[in-house]
Amino acid sequence: MPRTKIDTGHKVEYLSILDDQNKLDKELEPDISEERLLELYRTMLFGRRFDERMLNLQRQGRIGTFPPIKGQEAAQMGAVFHLRPKDWLVPAFRETAAEIWRGRSPASVLLYYNGFNEGTIIPMEQRDMPMAVPVGSQILHAVGLAYAAKYRGTDEVVMTFFGDGATSEGDFHEGLNCAAVYQAPVVFICQNNHWAISIPLQKQMHTATIAEKAQAYGMPGIQVDGNDVLAVYAAVEEACTRARNSDGPTLIECVTYRVMMHTTADDPSRYRSEEEVAVWQKKDPLPRFETYLEEKGLLDATGRDDLEDKVQQQIQEAVDAAEKQMKELGDPIYMFDHLYEQLPPYLQRQKEELEMRLQAKKKEADHG
């Protein structure tokens, strides 16, 4: 019996609409109303400025460790913008812009990164799952939600985000397989930002793309320029339509870059070059989208300044509200209170360390 070849019929499609030289492919330009285009821009700008402010707050000791999103605003907003309130968002831990657009208050983000349980509360009617720090675990939750939506005969869509590193977890493979078998209405958004802490993409996998992994599970997969918000928007629109029409899941690989550190506890200069970062800074999604809007006559210098002012004001209000609430709440030490009747030794040690740090902080404040 000679060896034969099975033609799976698949090639990986790559989509870019507004390239990094700002050349627009008119034929592929998605049909988005002027109002929605500006809203999309506002949310991306908010995501960027809030991230910058959080970094300042962290460096001033006013919030704890957090993972910056800078450079990934298009991948997040171009995707989540398609969700209706009755759809589900299942984030990882780097989707601050997407979560805020869905309705999470920026103040609650600040509370969360200061260790207050109050920063994790999601209103019952809001169909968002909490941030998932165990890498890849949220993928399974998304598939379960989508299976339930299908079982109940709704047209709800579930969108989940994860990184390139998460594709090495068993949860990713189990999740995609299960979603395809049950034709569950999930949109899998992989933000391939080239790094999983200090592990570069080429040490994470041996395939040319992440999108091609969809083929093995029997679902459509596409790679898009994740710094081109129009390309993300167009690809995710197709995927959401597919999910709503009971045509199953899709994997979308958004090629982007983590411009900043993994979290504020990380120093990327120890493992990557400045030259590499500089290449990606030139592909920054925000100026690219700004130029597009300017050329359409939707944005000018005055409009941009006004928006910057409004965004900064909103951020300041959030910081003030969070700091006021934190003062009222006191110390976040009660985070240890309700999980165990008796704390295991490792948590007891963490509690004591936090108590010590909080006392030192108080002393420092008292001495001006």
Ligand X SMILES: Cc1ncc(C[n+]2csc(CCOP(=O)(O)OP(=O)(O)O)c2C)c(N)n1
**Helix 34-59, helix 285-295: angle, nearest 10:** 150
Considering the rule CB under 6 A, would residue 165 count as an interface residue with ligand X?
Answer: yes
Considering the rule CB under 6 A, would residue 205 count as an interface residue with ligand X?
Answer: no
Least Cβ distance, residue 65 to ligand X (angstroms): 11
Judged by CB, which is closer to ligand X: 197, or 216? 197
Considering the rule CB under 6 A, would residue 141 count as an interface residue with ligand X?
Answer: no
Q: Given candidates 95, 156, 164, 284, which one binds ligand X under the rule CB under 6 A?
A: 164
Least Cβ distance, residue 100 to Mg ion (angstroms): 21
Size of the site for ligand X (CB under 6 A): 15
**Catalytic annotation on 262?**
yes
Considering the rule CB under 6 A, would residue 213 count as an interface residue with ligand X?
Answer: no
Nearest CA among 68, 123, 73, 63 for reference residue 93: 68
Choosing from 82, 141, 242, 262, which is the catalytic residue? Answer: 262
Considering the rule CB under 5 A, would residue 76 count as an interface residue with Mg ion?
Answer: no
Segment contacting ligand X (CB under 6 A): 107-115, 144-152, 163-171, 225-233? 163-171
* 94 binding partner (options Mg ion, ligand X, none; Cβ < 5 to 8 Å by kind): ligand X
Segment contacting ligand X (CB under 6 A): 160-168, 236-244, 291-299, 330-338? 160-168
Q: Using the structure block, give the residue that is written with the tokens 């720090």.
A: 133
Q: Is the separation of the CB atoms in 199 and 228 below 8 Å?
A: no
Which residues within the stretch 181-200 sit at the binding site for ligand X (CB under 6 A)? 193, 195-197
Choosing from 127, 258, 288, 292, which is the catalytic residue? Answer: 258
* 225 binding partner (options ligand X, Mg ion, none; Cβ < 5 to 8 Å by kind): none
Residue 32 φ/ψ region, left for φ over 0, alpha for ψ in the -120 to 50 degree band, beta for the rest = beta
For the CA atoms of 207, 209, 215, 216, the dihedral, rounded to the nearest 10 degrees, stands at: 30
Least Cβ distance, residue 208 to ligand X (angstroms): 17
What residues line the site for ligand X (CB under 6 A)? Answer: 94, 133-135, 162-166, 193, 195-197, 258, 262
What residues line the site for Mg ion (CB under 5 A)? Answer: 163-165, 193, 196
